[in-house]
A and B are shown apart, each in its own frame.
Chain A
Amino acid sequence: MISIFQNYGGELLTGLGQTLLCSIIALIFALIIGSAFAIMETMPNKAARIIARVYIEVFRNIPLLVITMFFYVVIPMYIVKISGFASGTIGLTLYSSAFIAETVRSGIQSVDPGQMEGARANGLSYWQSMRYIILPQAFRYVIPPLGNQFINLVKNSSVLAFVAGFDLMYQANVIASDSLKSMSTYLCVGLLYLVLTLPLSYYMRHLEKKLA
C-alpha cells in the first residue's frame, strides 16, 4: 500500500484535486440552485410550484450516471462539446440540487407558518420575511440532512471516473490496472476519500450539536 503512495503519488494527488474541485463547484451551485427551487416550491404562486416540482422530480429520479452520460455523449453530438470533467460536474450539480431542494423545502415547511404571518404583519415584504425570518430558521433545522447531502455529493463525484474526468476513482482504476494491485489501490483511494469526507461529517455533527 505504501508503494502505491510512493509510485503513484502524482496521480493520486491529481485525483484528489479534481475530486475536491468538482465537489466544491457542484456544492456551491447545487446549494444555490437547490435553495432557489426550494423557495419556489413553497411560494404561493402555483406556476412556480409546478416548475420546481417538475425539476426536482426529474433530476431526483434519474440516476446520476444517466444525467452525466447525457451531457458527455448526447449534448456534444448535437450542440456543443463538453469535456468529461465538465459534464460530470454539471450532472452532479443538477442531481444534488434536486436533493438539496427537497431538504431545504422540508426545512422551510417545518418553520411555523405563524412566523411568516407575523413577519408580514410587521410590515416585511414576502422576500424580506423569507430572507430574514424563515430561511435562517429553516437552515438550522436542515443542517443534519444537508450535511448528509454534502457527503453524498463528495462520494457521488466518483461518477467522473466513467467519463474520464481524472478524479480519484478514475486514477484508482488506472493505477489498479497499471500496478496490478487492485486491492491495495482501492484501499489507498478509500483512505483518501475518508480524508475528504470524515472531517466534513464530524464538522457537521459538531455543528448540529452546537445548534440543537
Chain B
Amino acid sequence: MLTVLGAYSWVNIRFLLEGAWVTILVSVCSIVLSYIFGVILGIVRYVKIKYLSAIVGFIIDIIRNLPLILIIFFTYFGLPHLGFKPDPIWASVIAWRSLKQRWLLKLFEQESRRFRLVKWKGPGPMA
C-alpha cells in the first residue's frame, strides 16, 4: 500500500492535474465539434437527399463500427499523408469528434424515431 501513498506527492499530483487539463480540453473540443457535425450530418441523413444521404449514412456506419483507438491511429498516422500533421492531442480531438458525431447522429436519429414511435403509440393502450 506504501507505493500507492507514495504516488500522491505534490509533483505527481501536479503532473496528473496537467493531464486532467488535457482531458478537459479534449473533451470540450470534442463535445462541441461532434455536436455541431452530428446535428448537421443527422439532418442530411434525415431529409433523405438522393445519394448524399446514403453516402453519409454509410460513412457513419463504418466509423460507428470501428474501435476508437483504431480511428485515433488512422488520424495520427494517416492524416499526414494528406499533408496535415496533427500533434497527438489534436489527433485525438479529431478522432473523438468524428466518432462522437456519428454517435450523436445515431442518437438523433433514434430520438426522432422514438418520437414518432411515441406519437404513434400514444392512444394505443387506451383504445
Total of A-B residue pairs, C-beta within 8 Å? 54
Name the residue in B66, B117, B125 with the highest tally of chain A Cβ atoms < 10 Å from its Cβ. B66
Q: Is B106 at the interface (CB under 8 A from chain A)? A: yes
* Minimum CB–CB distance for A194 against chain B, Å: 6
A111-130 contacts to B, CB under 8 A, are 112, 114-115
- Contacts A148-B106, A201-B61, A212-B113 given; does A190 touch B78 at CB 8 Å: no
Question: Which residues does chain A contribute within 8 Å of B106, judged by CB atoms?
Answer: 148
Q: Are B69 and A169 in contact (CB under 8 A)?
A: yes
Q: Do B70 and A169 touch (CB < 8 A)?
A: yes
A29 at the interface (CB under 8 A from B): no
User: Which residues of B have CB within 8 Å of A198?
Assistant: 61, 65
How many interface residues does A have (CB within 8 Å)?
Answer: 25
Q: Is residue A183 within 8 Å, beta carbon to beta carbon, of the partner chain?
A: yes
Q: Give Cα A90 to B117, complex, Å.
A: 36
Q: Please give, as numbers and ranges, the residues of chain A lying within 8 Å of B125 by CB-CB distance.
A: 112, 114-115
- Residue interface bits B76-97, CB-to-A below 8 A is 1, else 0: 0110010000000000000000
Report whether A190 and B66 are in contact in the complex, using a CB–CB cutoff of 8 Å: yes
A158 to B64, CA, bound (A): 14
Closest residue of B by beta carbon distance from A201: B65
A26 CB, min distance to chain B CBs, angstroms = 14
Whether the Cβ atoms of A155 and B66 lie closer than 8 Å is yes
| Chain B residue nearest in CB terms to A65 | B69
Number of interface residues of B (CB under 8 A): 20
User: What residues on A are CB-neighbors of B70 within 8 Å?
Assistant: 158, 169, 172, 186, 189-190, 193
| B117 nearest in chain A by CB position | A212
A83 interface residue (CB < 8 Å to B):
no
Contact A144–B67 (Cβ < 8 Å): no
Q: What distance in Å separates the Cβ of A188 from its nearest Cβ neighbour in chain B? A: 11
A156 lies within 8 A of chain B by Cβ: yes
Query: 30 pairs across A/B with beta carbons < 8 Å?
Result: A112-B125, A144-B110, A148-B106, A155-B66, A155-B68, A156-B67, A158-B68, A158-B69, A158-B70, A161-B69, A169-B69, A172-B70, A182-B77, A183-B77, A186-B70, A186-B73, A186-B74, A186-B77, A190-B66, A190-B70, A190-B74, A193-B65, A193-B66, A193-B70, A197-B65, A197-B66, A198-B61, A198-B65, A201-B61, A201-B65
Binding site for A on B (CB under 8 A): 61-62, 64-70, 73-74, 77-78, 81, 106, 110, 113-114, 117, 125
* Closest 4 pairs between A and B when the two form their complex, measured CB to CB: A197-B65, A158-B67, A155-B67, A186-B73
